[in-house]
């Protein structure tokens, strides 16, 4: 496997597909996930263990985990909203499970129908379920700090609340936390500041990644701040599909294709091959012809004489 400077965590199969009405056929999802992995994407969030009546688009998550687990070198991530979801996930063995906690409690109630304390209780139970597994079979557990940079319902989310929730998630048994700009409110000053403060509070190994949205076109500018401060994992979605269905007006993940270009153009290795990445995009476009795909780089193509940091 190629040396990687920045790890891209592709969330399209989960965060992307959950936000759109059409259901992508399982065979197409498998082809897409395989194509993303073949392009060099090191981690893919393949789905979410939520009840099929809530998100029918993701009902095949268990099958996708099994498919993705068979791909050499790929880290397979899933979202789990609670213990039941985690138990279903653990049965198929992902490498990483992410449980979201909305720092805005109003958003938490609306999104997960749970108070902070109820979410933390689920985390503790999930931790126990993980620890009951033999060593070597235990997935990493990440607590995602949703609405960390502001909330469409509550407005300002106090920074102290973010730090407090980060601390509580770790205390409850998460291996790490992630910052998530669920609503597209984040600015570069916040990204740097919150990262440094969480590191100061919990240690640098407790926060590696950030999930940014492009709701106000600020996604890659905020990535620049994330790189400057030293974060090493960036979530993104192929074609920019998805966002948060429970945060009105807050659509738009950052676009994997443009993110890869941003990183590779400044000498940061992602391990990704552009030609194969664009091939994976074509699979997505063909499977979901009615869904608008974002991204400038696939349209413009690579610059003449472009040399990527990752050997192509």
Tokens of 158: 């106090």
Binding of residue 274 to a copy of itself (CB under 8 A): no
Binding of residue 133 to a copy of itself (CB under 8 A): no
Interior angle at CA 173, CA 42 and CA 254, nearest 5: 35
Using alpha carbons, select from 66, 2, 59 the residue that is nearest to residue 30: 66
Q: Distance (Å, rounded) from C-alpha 16 to C-alpha 6?
A: 21
Q: Which of 34, 152, 195, 256 binds a copy of itself (CB under 8 A)?
A: 152
Binding of residue 51 to a copy of itself (CB under 8 A): no
User: Which helix (H) or strand (E) segment is 8 a member of?
Assistant: strand 7-10
| Least distance from a copy of itself to the Cβ atom of residue 263, Å | 10
Spell out the alpha helix ranges (H) of the chain: 26-38, 61-69, 83-90, 105-111, 116-131, 159-172, 188-202, 219-229, 256-265, 274-287, 297-300
Residue 286's Cβ-count burial label (10 Å; 0-12, 13-18, 19+) is exposed
Closest to a copy of itself by CB, 70 vs 156, is: 156
Binding of residue 56 to a copy of itself (CB under 8 A): no
Of the residues 141, 244, 284, 309, only one is catalytic, namely: 244
Q: Which of 117, 200, 296, 311 binds a copy of itself (CB under 8 A)?
A: 296
For the four alpha carbons of 190, 225, 3 and 264, in that order, the dihedral sign comes to: positive
In eight-state DSSP terms, residue 288 is -
Binding of residue 292 to a copy of itself (CB under 8 A): no
Question: Which residues are paired to 43 by β-bridges?
Answer: 9, 75
Closest to a copy of itself by CB, 142 vs 258, is: 258
- Which residue in this structure is represented by tokens 């909203």? 81
| Least distance from a copy of itself to the Cβ atom of residue 270, Å | 14
Question: Does residue 7 sit in helix, strand or coil?
Answer: strand
Look up 244 and say whether it is catalytic.
Answer: yes
Q: Which of 55, 151, 165, 280 binds a copy of itself (CB under 8 A)?
A: 151
Q: Which of 224, 230, 282, 292 binds a copy of itself (CB under 8 A)?
A: 224
Q: Scanning residues 232 to 251, which ones bind a copy of itself (CB under 8 A)?
A: 249-250
| Least distance from a copy of itself to the Cβ atom of residue 181, Å | 11
Number of residues that bind a copy of itself (CB under 8 A): 43
In eight-state DSSP terms, residue 151 is B
Binding of residue 272 to a copy of itself (CB under 8 A): no
Binding of residue 230 to a copy of itself (CB under 8 A): no
Q: Scanning residues 179 to 218, which ones bind a copy of itself (CB under 8 A)?
A: 183-185, 187-189, 214-218
Phi/psi for 23 (5° steps) reads: -95, 120
| Least distance from a copy of itself to the Cβ atom of residue 170, Å | 28
Q: Which residues have a catalytic role annotated?
A: 244
Binding stretches for a copy of itself (CB under 8 A): 150-156, 183-185, 187-189, 214-218, 220-221, 223-225, 228, 249-250, 252, 255, 258, 261-262, 265-267, 295-297, 300-301, 303-306
């Amino acid at each position: 496997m190629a040396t990687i400077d920045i790890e891209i965590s592709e969330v399209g199969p989960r965060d992307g597909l959950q936000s759109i009405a059409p259901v992508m056929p399982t065979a197409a999802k498998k082809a897409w996930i395989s194509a993303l992995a073949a392009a060099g994407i090191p981690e893919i969030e393949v789905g979410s263990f939520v009840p099929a009546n809530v998100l029918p688009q993701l009902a095949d998550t268990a099958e996708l985990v099994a498919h993705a687990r068979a791909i050499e070198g790929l880290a397979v991530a899933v979202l789990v909203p609670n213990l039941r979801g985690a138990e279903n996930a653990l049965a198929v063995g992902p490498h990483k499970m992410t449980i979201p906690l909305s720092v805005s409690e109003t958003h938490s109630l609306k999104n997960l129908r749970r108070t902070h304390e109820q979410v933390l209780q689920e985390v503790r139970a999930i931790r126990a379920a993980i620890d009951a597994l033999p060593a070597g079979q235990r997935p990493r557990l990440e607590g995602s700090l949703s609405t960390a940079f502001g909330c469409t319902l509550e407005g300002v989310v106090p920074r102290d609340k973010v730090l407090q929730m980060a601390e509580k998630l770790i205390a409850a048994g998460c291996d790490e936390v992630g910052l998530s700009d669920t609503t597209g409110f984040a600015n570069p000053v916040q990204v740097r500041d919150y990262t440094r403060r969480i590191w100061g509070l919990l240690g640098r190994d407790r926060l590696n990644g950030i999930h940014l949205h492009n709701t106000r076109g600020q996604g890659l500018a905020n990535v620049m701040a994330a790189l400057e401060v030293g974060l090493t994992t960036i979530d993104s979605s192929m074609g920019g599909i998805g966002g948060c269905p429970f945060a009105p007006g807050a659509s738009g993940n950052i676009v994997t294709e443009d993110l890869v270009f941003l990183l590779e153009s400044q000498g940061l290795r992602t391990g990704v091959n552009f030609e194969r990445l664009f091939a994976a995009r074509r699979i997505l476009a063909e499977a979901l012809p009615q869904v608008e795909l974002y991204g400038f780089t696939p349209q413009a193509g690579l610059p003449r004489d472009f040399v990527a940091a990752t050997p192509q």
